[in-house]
């Protein structure tokens, strides 16, 4: 039995060395694999203690039981398999823990990314809200500015309309006055036509009796005496009758020179056929109208200014104001356009000057169309006592009759 023990002990020592070597290698492998995890390291240490205790127990059991070599080898294999299984279980557990850690980190990262996305979304929503608020504010300001501009435009349009209506009313008034003067001239022309002096003696008597009915009774004796004189001295009155006829002809010629003779009536009738309306101006010119436009013809019926004006005023001091495209100019009694329409308004001429308006500023021009006073004043009054009152920037001054400055506005 002792001999057997001598053979077994070397074998047991070698097996123990191999087992210890394998355990040490396994432990080093486990330590290397769990180097990054404190938990695995502690478990490896506990496993090492257990293995050492187990090894001691195995050695004790082998020494006590004196198992056969084959049984000892099988036992060692079994224990090695158990260690291998335990190592695999530990590795699986470590991998599971690592996977859990990775999942936890991934979850934390996902939550961080989600939080950042939510923050960016909130920031974008805030920026969008601010942009919409700024846009709404800009639109409100634009709408307000538009409303103010429209209101201002309406006020300006109403002002312009009121001024236009005022000017139109003034033009209508001037035209009505001109028509009245024309009617008066026509009545005078008819009166002169009716007053044409007859050449016969009976016509003279009829004329005097008709014209001086109140004095007819008083001078009847004188008329009878004149008749007796002509009847008794008829043979000596041939030359006298011729003289009377010549005198009457001269009177007719003087009447013809006024432009109201039958020849002018013929011109008047011809003009009426050519134009929509014809009026006498009292200056030797006819005012003619065609398609709501006005012009002038001379006493012969020749067109000196074709109908191109929207409005024609009356002649004052030999000058007439005309209007075209809401601008005023002047023409003279010869039918010449002295000043083409360029001012917003031109008044009638008085004492050789007329008031002009340009861009709500006032000045003066003469009958030659020359600017005597530039349109710089806010107001120019009519001539009173040889002076005209002027105003500019709420300051008052005076101009002389010729337009020169008498007193600077102050």
Residue 375: its H or E element: strand 371-377
| DSSP string computed for 68-92 | -HHHHHHHHHHHHHHHHHHHHHHHH
Question: Does residue 106 register a pLDDT over 60?
Answer: yes
Question: Does residue 250 register a pLDDT over 70?
Answer: no
pLDDT digits (tens, 9 = 90+) for 12-45: 455 555 555 555 555 555 445 545 555 555 655 6
Q: Which residue has the tokens 């001091």?
A: 317
Q: Which residue has the tokens 């979304």?
A: 121
Beta-strand pair 395-400/405-407: antiparallel
**CB atoms inside a 10 Å sphere around CB 301:** 17
Share of the chain above pLDDT 70, in %: 60
SS3 302: coil
**What integer pLDDT is reported at residue 52 of this predicted model?**
58
Question: What is this structure's pTM?
Answer: 0.38
Question: Does residue 238 register a pLDDT over 80?
Answer: no
Lowest mean pLDDT among 84-98, 210-224, 369-383: 210-224
SS3 63: helix
Residues 167-185 have a mean pLDDT of: 59
366 and 396 Cβ atoms separated by less than 8 Å:
no
Query: What gap in Å lies between CA 310 and CA 326, rounded to an integer?
Result: 8
Residues 137-152 have a mean pLDDT of: 88
Beta-strand pair 361-366/353-358: antiparallel
Residues 161-165 have a mean pLDDT of: 66
**What integer pLDDT is reported at residue 253 of this predicted model?**
35
Beta partners for residue 379, in sequence order: 391
Strand arrangement, sheet containing 353-358: 345-346, 353-358, 361-366, 371-377
User: C-alpha angle 120/126/132, rounded to 5°?
Assistant: 135
Question: Does residue 237 register a pLDDT over 80?
Answer: no
**What integer pLDDT is reported at residue 152 of this predicted model?**
81
Question: Does residue 144 register a pLDDT over 70?
Answer: yes
**What integer pLDDT is reported at residue 333 of this predicted model?**
87
pLDDT digits (tens, 9 = 90+) for 278-333: 998 888 899 999 999 999 999 899 999 999 999 998 888 889 999 999 999 999 98
**What integer pLDDT is reported at residue 260 of this predicted model?**
38
Query: What gap in Å lies between CA 78 and CA 125, rounded to an integer?
Result: 68
SS3 171: helix
**What integer pLDDT is reported at residue 226 of this predicted model?**
72
Residues 99-119 have a mean pLDDT of: 92
238 and 244 Cβ atoms separated by less than 8 Å:
no
**CB atoms inside a 10 Å sphere around CB 243:** 11
The contacts of residue 393 (CB under 8 Å, 6+ apart) are 378, 409
**What integer pLDDT is reported at residue 151 of this predicted model?**
85
Question: Does residue 202 register a pLDDT over 60?
Answer: no
Length of the chain: 410
- The pLDDT mean for the chain works out to 75
396 and 390 Cβ atoms separated by less than 8 Å:
yes
Share of the chain above pLDDT 90, in %: 39
**What integer pLDDT is reported at residue 169 of this predicted model?**
72
The contacts of residue 263 (CB under 8 Å, 6+ apart) are 256
SS3 5: helix
């Amino acid at each position: 039995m002792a001999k057997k023990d001598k053979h077994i002990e070397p074998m047991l020592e070698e097996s123990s060395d191999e087992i210890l070597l394998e355990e040490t290698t396994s432990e080093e492998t486990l330590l290397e694999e769990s180097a990054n995890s404190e938990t695995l390291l502690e478990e490896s240490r506990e496993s090492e203690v257990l293995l050492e205790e187990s090894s001691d127990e195995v050695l004790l059991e082998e020494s006590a039981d004196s198992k056969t070599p084959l049984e000892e080898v099988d036992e060692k294999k079994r224990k090695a398999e158990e260690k291998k299984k335990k190592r695999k279980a530990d590795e699986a557990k470590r991998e599971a823990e690592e996977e859990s850690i990775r999942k936890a980190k991934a979850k934390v990262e996902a939550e961080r990314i989600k939080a950042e996305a939510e923050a960016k979304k909130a920031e974008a929503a805030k920026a969008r809200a601010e942009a919409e608020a700024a846009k709404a504010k800009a639109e409100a300001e634009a709408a307000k500015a538009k409303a103010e501009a429209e209101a201002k435009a309406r006020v300006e349009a109403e002002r312009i309309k009121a001024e236009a209506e005022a000017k139109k009313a003034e033009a209508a008034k001037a035209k009505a006055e001109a028509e009245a003067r024309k009617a008066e001239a026509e009545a005078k022309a008819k009166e002169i036509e009716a007053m044409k002096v007859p050449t016969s003696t009976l016509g003279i008597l009829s004329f005097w009796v008709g014209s001086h009915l109140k004095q007819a009774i008083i001078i009847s004796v004188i008329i009878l005496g004149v008749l007796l004189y002509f009847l008794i001295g008829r043979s000596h009155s041939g030359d006298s009758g011729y003289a009377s006829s010549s005198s009457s002809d001269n009177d007719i010629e003087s009447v013809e020179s006024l432009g109201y003779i039958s020849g002018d009536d013929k011109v008047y009738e011809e003009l009426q056929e050519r134009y929509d309306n014809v009026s006498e101006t009292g200056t030797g010119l006819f005012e003619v109208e065609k398609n709501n436009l006005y012009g002038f013809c001379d006493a012969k019926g020749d067109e000196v200014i074709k109908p191109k004006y929207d409005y024609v005023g009356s002649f004052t001091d030999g000058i007439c104001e005309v209007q075209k495209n809401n601008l005023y100019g002047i023409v003279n009694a010869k039918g010449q356009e002295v000043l083409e329409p360029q001012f917003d308004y031109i008044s009638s001429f008085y004492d050789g000057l007329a008031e002009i308006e340009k861009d709500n500023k006032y000045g003066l021009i003469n009958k030659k169309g020359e600017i005597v006073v530039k349109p710089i004043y806010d107001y120019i009054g009519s001539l009173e006592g040889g002076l005209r009152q002027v105003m500019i920037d709420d300051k008052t001054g005076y101009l002389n009759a010729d337009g020169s400055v008498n007193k600077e506005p102050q």
